[in-house]
Structure 1
Amino acid sequence: MKVPYLRIGVDVGGTNTDGVILDPLRSSEPGRGIVAWKKSSTTKNPSDGINNVINEMFRESNIDPTDVASVTIGTTHFINAVVEMDKSRLACVAVLRLCGPFSKEIPVGVDWPPELRNIICGYRGLVDGGLEIDGSLICELDEDEIRRQCEEIKSQGIRSIVIVGVFSPVDVVYRQEERAEEIIRELLPDVDIVKSKDVANIGFLERENAAVLNAAILAFARRTIHAFRDAIGRLNLRCPVFITQNDGTILPAHSAARLPIRTFSSGPTNSMRGAAFLTQGLDREAMMVVDIGGTTTDVGLLLKNGFPRQAAAYSEISGVRTNFSYPDVKSIGLGGGSIVRKDKDGSLKIGPDSVGYQIQEKALVFGGDIPTATDYMVLSNEELQIGDRSRVNSSPLKDGLDEFRAKVKATIERIVDTMKTSPDDIPVVLVGGGAVIAPDTLKGASKVIKPNWSGVANAIGAATARVSGVVDSIESTELRTVSQAIDELSKRAVEKAVENGALRDTITIAEVESIPLQYIADKSRIVIKAVGDFDFSRTDFSGMEENMNDQADPIPEETDQISCENQRNSPLEMSKSPHKLVFTKDYIEGYKPQVLDRQWFISETDVDWITIGCYILGTGGGGSPYQHMLRLREMLRAGATVRVISPSDLKDDDLVACGGGKGSPQVSIEKPYGDEIMESQTVLYDFLKLKPNAVISLEIGGGNGLQGLILGASTNMDIPTVDGDWMGRAYPVSWQTTPVVFEKKATMIPSAISDGNGRVMIMTKARTELEAERAFRAALSQMGSHVGCAKGPVSGANTKSWVVENTISLSWRIGRAVAMSRCTNQIDTVAESIIDEVGGPQSAKVLFKGKIVGVERVTKMGHAYGEVIIESAAEDGAGMTEKAVIPFKNENIFVKKIDADGKEQILAVVPDLVCVIDAQNGEAVGTQEYRYGLLVVVLGITASEKWTSTARGIEIGGPKGFGFNDLDYQPIGSFQKPVSVINEYNISKAVA
């Protein structure tokens, strides 16, 4: 029986449709196994472009269609619909949250660009439902409420619905999202329904965002993929059709029609994988891949293993935050079709607008009347055979030729420099149809490589993409080890990859992630990814073709969706506020916080910078401040006043409240906030029959760093927040605080906790804070593993004695430094900028730089214990490497360096701060976000003297407080008190 063996790769870009026919059995030959290739202009109907390019390749190479094993298509169509905010391709979406009492203060699209939010986000309904982290119910699903919500959605004419339940990715018992889908289908059989658990994993807001974007393009995706399949059918090909994903693997076409978001950013990934294929045989080293298309230039770093460098833990799609892992790619508006014109000052302006797929109609060399980058390149290179050279030889373009070359060169050099993580020169690989406009030498490049077939690297990447199988599951480890669970799930992942078309003998386990669930005994979330080559011998593709004919009938070009811009009668009005702030160097240098009569009035800019600083000071713990930042920002936009005062301005008899969240950071990532933190304060002060004069954050690190600001600005309290906290960082337990250092008996009793779901506890007596902590921790696992906690008030006099001063100011300064590094493209030195803000080299230092190569986690007594291993490659890329090992208990405990000879050295240990930041954007990386492949910088900061000046402080906050009794504290430097924003910027009202 004849076995098909050829692979066809097609990449449909905004300007060109590229194709390649590849014989993988000949990939090591000089011709790389490339049987045929073709580049043609993208057509308005993508079906025509695909048909044309494959037909041309068949004609030129005399290929028998029965020899083709698969067709893999990469496309930018779906992400372009979002990026271009095209109302004709984006549907209005309703969101039903299965959330109980949580998230009611968070609008859908709260952090989206306003224009995109107004097009897509049409309705939000809150329904009782949702799970706790252990799989128990927040509350039962309210099926009658779902029916009522369906009537409202129907009345508004919305036909795309997203269902998002709290902890739905772990819901294997109640299947609330599935049951909600069943009810909706009974009442609204013609609507598109997207379950969030099918789209992304843990991370409620980010998963909701991704699901909403997916729902918005479903109808357009069906039309597009129907057109792709139609093109393949007309060519008499009887092979499976795949669509490339953004991780370098492929999806069956029917799966891509349901989950088009997984194709986002697959174009740059295809080009980078194609570049890796084309540079086989060269010394394998990290390379910068510059993919110049007809409209844009995409730049990413190709690692030594031949795969793209991954972006940060969270990624943005057109300004929308999601929890997908993306290749770290930056795009600029430069391509072969870029329009070149004179600017107002007489200088040349290249792009960002482009003639796109109409280049063969509108460019001068093709008889058009619009000067493009291609016209200039034809004029400057006599060997370039594109169009009719005579049309530009006598044109006025000659006068600007030198300026054009200089601008293109500078533009590419600038984007390459932005993507580099060190000043060292790096090889640059030029691919894409527009690569002809790039020079042969570039500043910052050790060499410039233009491989053969570089113009169709994206199609080659599609043709060589691999097949994957992913299993994401919550597993019990009570009767088996984590390793045994991983082995069992690995087998399932392999079978899933085989089911998707992978050849069993080629499958390897590419990624393993095991995350113990905090405060839940013997449970771990395990994610396994298996990857293999396509099985060319397969002839039974019935499983892959399942549902492929669901949309066989022609689909109209336009949907009949009603624009969300006309949908504004939902229960909660959409936020009309602007998108996140964009900082410039001039703005940052000129910005002055508003401080009047020693009261700091917090602005959105301040909130942005404080948030960045809080997470870095969290030393890996404390949970992400992102949700709390959104809450505080919305409060400001609603008219709240947020005030900060200096500890020194407290009166001795003032009462200072304290509050924050207590529990697992994994819960705060997934379960949106409710009223739990405010409720604990209200219950406590009603019990005490007192009103506090000010409030202080329990810890500055992580999400709790913003809680003092939120509580103080709430209408229930309306009091200022103290510029300081009880830790100066984050610690895993609330008895690791400075009041406990200075006072052995319990000083913040009575205390109260609330889960925001009807359960409240008050502890009126305890001998020590440790006893109170243990009691609350015992209750915590029964209250959803996350509660709001209100500590009893402390006097102004004691606050001034015990506080770690000016930590809000310090967070602000750290955030400002990170913002400046980003806007000036100096992320390489962001750690050094932070060091300058915390007291200089005598107080802090860079301890290590490298890539995370291993993470191990276990849960003990409700806390996440483990260690992360970071590897720093030798500068020449050869020889052994140094490693850093960081054990953590929620927070990072110490850093141990292991050199190439195995010699170990402790670089820093608690109470000094060990902070891990993302080398690509300067953001903190929490312990729950540690994952293989992240490039990080480890920063050490000397702890406050409130911890280090006494033996008791070192005992509680040092290594012995984490169970490392054989490890002694050695400071990395001398502590410098943070500079107060209030002292620096204060203006009296009389002067103002």
Structure 2
Amino acid sequence: MKNNSTLGARTIHTDHDDRHKAPTTTDPSHGIAAAITTMFKSASIEPSSVASVTIGTTHFVNAVITQDHTRLSRVAVIRLGAPFSKHAPPCIDWPAPLRNLILGHHALLKGGLEVDGSLISDIREAEIVEQCKIIKEKGIKSIVINGIFSPIDTVEKQEERAAEIVQRELGDVDVVLSKTVANLGFLERENAAILNASVLSFARRTIASFQEPIKNLGLECPVFITQNDGTILSGDAAARLPIRTFSSGPTNSMRGAAFLVGKQDHGEAMMVVDVGGTTTDVGLLLANGFPRQQAAYSELSGVRMNFSYPDVKSIGLGGGSLVRRIDGKMHVGPESVGYKLPEKALVFGGDVPTATDYIVAAAKDLAIGDTSKVQGKLAGEDIDAFKTETKRMLEEIIDTMKTSPEDLPVLLVGGGAVVAPDELKGASRVIKPEWSGVANAIGAAMARVSAVIDTVKSTEKTSAKEIQADIEEEAKQKTIEAGASAESVEIVEVESLPLPYIAHKSRFIVRAAGDFDYTRSADFATLHVESSHKEATAEPSDPSNNSTPPSTEANGIEEDPAVDIDFSSYAPKVVKREWHISETDLQWITIGCYILGTGGGGSPYSTMLRVRQMLRNGATIRVMNPDDLKDDDRVGSGGGAGSPTVGIEKLSGDEMMDAQVHMYKLFPGGRATHIIPLEIGGSNGLQGLVLGASSNMNIPCVDGDWMGRAYPTKWQTTPVVFGEREIVFAPVSVADGNGNVLYMPTATSDLKVEQVIRAALSQMGSHVGTADGPVTGSETRRWAVEHTISLSWRIGREVARARKENRIDNVAESIIDAAGGPETGRVLFKGKIVGVERKLWMGHIYGEVIVEGTEGTQFAGKIKIPFKNENIAAVRLHEGVETETGEEKNEDVLAIVPDLISVIDAQNGEAIGTPEYRYGLLVLVIGITASERWTIPKGIEIGGPKGFGLDHLEYKPVGKFVKPISVIDEYDGKL
């Protein structure tokens, strides 16, 4: 069964049905040897005819999903970059059971780079040596080293230097450099590196056991392991990066399934349910025959990562799943006997009731093992309860993966597919193609070879196009070196990202892929993985001997407070006109903030983690209605300024609070009594919650902000629109979190404040915290865009509700309803991103994204969305028709600033920021009418087309502004 490995072998030529399926065994090498030997006998294949053996294994991902402590090593994490990231320690966003199992130690040390490659600080050998002593005392043998901006560190090589010190001090240990595992995205890269390190020792043992029977059978051919993107790794590469194989099983099965159904169901999307011995993996096979991919981030067992990953969800249901009644309720999985099925299951003479036993007992005519051992021996009501529970589990996971309530075909594959019924709710039909049991092996045998180049280059003396061409050639050559035939190699993915606030620097990501060149098989046949002496030989835990009840966290995933609540009865806590934020509220506000960011503002994810940790540590986070402010209240403001690219890598230290502290040290007027976010869009939308609830301030956050969205500059704010003060944003304090503070007590204009901060940014790490001098309560009531935290909450609630009710297809309409209904906004477009261009000018990212609709729908054709950090407009394109000026015409503008234009991920309803735009993403584009604060003449001048250099276009609202309803007004006194 598929619970451990799938083997696909390509022969040079044969006219036979060269397939054989064998159950896996305690030692996977026995199963592999049995399968190949049988193929040799049944199909008369000579060993010399075998060009390669490709193995798709779920060993490593199963270790994580089942949280098997005998296969997962404890990991120590050394971070380089203090004081940054101090508020988001390693594994902060992991499910508690998995975090407690894997994370053994962590330390935040000096080191790390700025985005331009300069030092935050150099590493300190004494600090690393001291941590090595602690790690040695704890007996930890797997260490991850993660440095800020390490993926672009080609000069200082801090991770490499730190690894040398660790290796010298600790000897025979595994050291994983985060930069070898994933790319930019500090937390997500670290998460992937930790999982990789945890499974490394087990991976070496397993891959060595894969290679041994190949060698013993006289096959002089290479052994490959499939990756999760449908390509292959050599055995030695997979032993270093086993995480790349995570979820390769579903990818293999889905690609194999596409081959098996062929023209029968071509052009139709379908759900593929891959049932193995331990888990069931479910994913959507798109009409083009390839699996749907997750968007900007991927997730496994509640752990968020940042490399390409099929959009697959797994549950602990398979042929080897334990079946037990606990407190009267029938439980199926997640514990499994896995590869021990042939000795543990009742039908094979064992004493453990498994899903296979119950299926055999129920089917009557299913010839698996000794049917007499179960038929008539298991209680009829237990068999019925098993069938009901299994059907419920499958229907629930299928329902979760759907993006609309309509039924769609369900394709059953995998060795454990016998546990699945012939009819399922939500399936228009259930298909089990011939050879479905070996779909995984077919997909593995079809896998290609790929290589990725991810680098930062200077464009000062050479054009970006020339550099990209060189990198493409390098990627092609790297793919050929990995085993691809030269004539088959093609560039399949290209991304160019200018780096904000860094002159003449761009990040290039290029992926090439090609078919394996079997004429060069001998070049790869000698690569062999040795299991080092430090490997433990412990067998995986046997869940059949575990008398404890099965975990209620089948996949190690904690409940999502944004979704797993009763929407009809949930009410936020409002006490004496103050809203006390809960984790559920926080999750909804976070979703809403990014959508209101209109592509900019930076992801609020890491800030959300910080606020959540504050809540869990006992903080009370209060929000108040701006209507309740007194005239003489003092309302401060603060937030981050800089590049979103920096924000995902250089996580906050104390720069926001440093700026506030220095402001009120130097400002003579006294401390603020309240805090208001600078902007609601993106990460800054949550900064008011962080600052207000901090021990330094402990003041309420105002339910409003100065933008009602995200804008790229500080002068594009409502206090400047109203112009009641000659200057609003001075005094201002700016801190980089590394000991450098800039204070401007006065300035000639708000524009000059912006210009000074932008000039300082390049010398302060391209990301800073700012604090603005306070304004009065009466000014806040006049200037603030009101109830935007409430609006974020309502938008996030509707996205969460749409997910729970599987209405993602109409989530855009739900967002508009939350924003005020059809009169205030509309769905502008639905389609797929087919082009992205970016350029850097004056520190801001300018560019445009092209979205193509579906023929035959109201969203046929293409639109473009120009952006300057944030989305500026949505403009319909006419194929082959040029305007006289080569620019947009008013009649083609679907929406334009100051109205909000947001791009939503069509697969989960969450916002996609401009740095995350990439080819192939399915998106929804919505327009929402701007606040009435912006639609006065001065507001349109500052925040409208003219403010972005689009003087030839006029602002026409997409609808009528509807003032958001205050959560405080609605729920006050209802608890």
1:788-829: CA deviations, max 9, x gaps?
Answer: 111121111111100000111111122222222223333233
Could you tell me which amino acid in structure 1 is paired with residue 281 of structure 2?
D
For 1:328, the equivalent position in structure 2 comes to 311
CA contact (8 A) 1:881 1:899 kept: no
1:871-921: CA deviations, max 9, x gaps?
Answer: 233369xx9953232111111111123478979832221111111222222
For 2:871, the equivalent position in structure 1 comes to 892
Once the two structures are TM-superposed, the CA of residue 953 in structure 1 deviates from its matched residue by: 0.5
Unaligned runs of 5+ in 1: 1-11, 27-32, 561-577
Aligned residues between the structures: 949
CA contact (8 A) 2:838 2:845 kept: yes
Structure 1: how far apart are the matches of 2:629 and 2:537? 67
- Structure 1 residues 383, 854: closer, same or farther in 2, change over 3 A? farther
Once the two structures are TM-superposed, the CA of residue 157 in structure 1 deviates from its matched residue by: 2.4
Structure 2: how far apart are the matches of 1:880 and 1:614? 27
- Structure 1 residues 556, 417: closer, same or farther in 2, change over 3 A? closer
Once the two structures are TM-superposed, the CA of residue 324 in structure 1 deviates from its matched residue by: 2.0
For 1:987, the equivalent position in structure 2 comes to 973
Once the two structures are TM-superposed, the CA of residue 261 in structure 1 deviates from its matched residue by: 1.0
- Structure 1 residues 758, 446: closer, same or farther in 2, change over 3 A? same
For 1:111, the equivalent position in structure 2 comes to 93
For 2:938, the equivalent position in structure 1 comes to 952
CA contact (8 A) 2:2 2:275 kept: no
CA contact (8 A) 2:562 2:797 kept: no
For 1:147, the equivalent position in structure 2 comes to 129
1:706-750: CA deviations, max 9, x gaps?
Answer: 111111111222211111000011011111100111007312211
Once the two structures are TM-superposed, the CA of residue 299 in structure 1 deviates from its matched residue by: 1.7
From 419, 432, 438, the counterpart of 2:401? 419
- Structure 1 residues 82, 379: closer, same or farther in 2, change over 3 A? closer
Once the two structures are TM-superposed, the CA of residue 410 in structure 1 deviates from its matched residue by: 5.9
Structure 2: how far apart are the matches of 1:360 and 1:228? 20
Once the two structures are TM-superposed, the CA of residue 632 in structure 1 deviates from its matched residue by: 1.4
For 1:571, the equivalent position in structure 2 comes to none
Does the residue aligned with 1:947 lie in a helix, a strand or coil? coil
CA contact (8 A) 2:320 2:355 kept: yes
For 1:737, the equivalent position in structure 2 comes to 717
For 2:832, the equivalent position in structure 1 comes to 851
Does the residue aligned with 1:524 lie in a helix, a strand or coil? strand
From 705, 720, 727, the counterpart of 2:707? 727
Does the residue aligned with 1:183 lie in a helix, a strand or coil? helix
Say yes or no: does 1:766 pair with 2:747: yes
- Structure 1 residues 956, 280: closer, same or farther in 2, change over 3 A? same
Once the two structures are TM-superposed, the CA of residue 435 in structure 1 deviates from its matched residue by: 3.0
- Structure 1 residues 192, 332: closer, same or farther in 2, change over 3 A? closer
Once the two structures are TM-superposed, the CA of residue 290 in structure 1 deviates from its matched residue by: 2.0
Could you tell me which amino acid in structure 1 is paired with residue 961 of structure 2?
F
Structure 1: how far apart are the matches of 2:440 and 2:562? 34
Once the two structures are TM-superposed, the CA of residue 500 in structure 1 deviates from its matched residue by: 0.7
1:23-61: CA deviations, max 9, x gaps?
Answer: 4778xxxxxx77421222211111222122112212211
For 2:21, the equivalent position in structure 1 comes to 39
For 1:609, the equivalent position in structure 2 comes to 588
Structure 2: how far apart are the matches of 1:875 and 1:718? 56
Which deviates the most, 413-422 or 210-219? Answer: 413-422
Structure 1: how far apart are the matches of 2:559 and 2:218? 50
Could you tell me which amino acid in structure 2 is paired with residue 987 of structure 1?
G
1:223-274: CA deviations, max 9, x gaps?
Answer: 1111111122222112111111111111111111111111111111110111
Could you tell me which amino acid in structure 2 is paired with residue 813 of structure 1?
R
For 2:543, the equivalent position in structure 1 comes to none
Structure 2: how far apart are the matches of 1:101 and 1:406? 53
Could you tell me which amino acid in structure 1 is paired with residue 310 of structure 2?
P
- Structure 1 residues 502, 614: closer, same or farther in 2, change over 3 A? same
Percent identical among aligned pairs is 59
Which deviates the most, 354-363 or 83-92? Answer: 354-363
Once the two structures are TM-superposed, the CA of residue 369 in structure 1 deviates from its matched residue by: 6.0
1:632-677: CA deviations, max 9, x gaps?
Answer: 1222222322211111111112221110000000001000111111
Structure 2: how far apart are the matches of 1:219 and 1:401? 40
CA contact (8 A) 2:362 2:375 kept: no
Structure 1: how far apart are the matches of 2:781 and 2:933? 12
Structure 1: how far apart are the matches of 2:124 and 2:908? 42
Does the residue aligned with 2:318 lie in a helix, a strand or coil? coil
CA contact (8 A) 1:35 1:61 kept: yes
Does the residue aligned with 1:37 lie in a helix, a strand or coil? coil
Does the residue aligned with 1:670 lie in a helix, a strand or coil? coil
Which deviates the most, 855-864 or 374-383? Answer: 374-383
- Structure 1 residues 121, 742: closer, same or farther in 2, change over 3 A? same
Structure 2: how far apart are the matches of 1:899 and 1:397? 68
- Structure 1 residues 18, 96: closer, same or farther in 2, change over 3 A? closer
Which deviates the most, 953-962 or 528-537? Answer: 953-962
For 2:896, the equivalent position in structure 1 comes to 909
For 1:164, the equivalent position in structure 2 comes to 146
Does the residue aligned with 1:232 lie in a helix, a strand or coil? helix
CA contact (8 A) 2:840 2:846 kept: yes
Within 5 A, what are the aligned runs for 1:347-746? 351-363=333-345, 365-366=347-348, 373-374=355-356, 378=360, 384-388=366-370, 394=376, 412-439=394-421, 444-541=426-523, 545=526, 548-551=528-531, 555-558=535-538, 581-582=560-561, 586-689=565-668, 690-743=670-723, 745-746=726-727
Structure 1: how far apart are the matches of 2:13 and 2:903? 44
Q: TM-score, normalised by structure 1?
A: 0.90
- Structure 1 residues 715, 959: closer, same or farther in 2, change over 3 A? same
CA contact (8 A) 1:746 1:767 kept: yes
For 2:282, the equivalent position in structure 1 comes to 299
CA contact (8 A) 1:748 1:794 kept: no
CA contact (8 A) 2:451 2:478 kept: yes
CA contact (8 A) 2:637 2:677 kept: yes
- Structure 1 residues 190, 498: closer, same or farther in 2, change over 3 A? same
For 1:244, the equivalent position in structure 2 comes to 226
Could you tell me which amino acid in structure 1 is paired with residue 691 of structure 2?
L
CA contact (8 A) 2:9 2:51 kept: no
Which deviates the most, 351-360 or 684-693? Answer: 351-360
For 1:6, the equivalent position in structure 2 comes to none
Once the two structures are TM-superposed, the CA of residue 342 in structure 1 deviates from its matched residue by: 6.6
Q: TM-score, normalised by structure 2?
A: 0.92
CA contact (8 A) 1:310 1:933 kept: no
From 808, 832, 855, the counterpart of 1:874? 855
Could you tell me which amino acid in structure 1 is paired with residue 958 of structure 2?
I
From 784, 789, 808, the counterpart of 1:827? 808
CA contact (8 A) 2:595 2:902 kept: yes
1:617-642: CA deviations, max 9, x gaps?
Answer: 11111001111111112222223222
RMSD over equivalenced CA pairs, Å: 2.8
Does the residue aligned with 1:209 lie in a helix, a strand or coil? helix
Does the residue aligned with 1:977 lie in a helix, a strand or coil? coil
1:406-432: CA deviations, max 9, x gaps?
Answer: 765665454334323234443432211
Structure 2: how far apart are the matches of 1:414 and 1:130? 44
Which deviates the most, 170-179 or 303-312? Answer: 303-312
Say yes or no: does 1:814 pair with 2:792: no
For 1:319, the equivalent position in structure 2 comes to 302
CA contact (8 A) 1:17 1:41 kept: no
From 799, 816, 820, the counterpart of 1:839? 820
CA contact (8 A) 1:413 1:442 kept: yes
For 1:99, the equivalent position in structure 2 comes to 81
Which deviates the most, 148-157 or 206-215? Answer: 148-157
Could you tell me which amino acid in structure 2 is paired with residue 909 of structure 1?
I
Does the residue aligned with 1:512 lie in a helix, a strand or coil? strand
Could you tell me which amino acid in structure 1 is paired with residue 916 of structure 2?
E
For 2:551, the equivalent position in structure 1 comes to none
Once the two structures are TM-superposed, the CA of residue 433 in structure 1 deviates from its matched residue by: 1.9
For 1:795, the equivalent position in structure 2 comes to 776
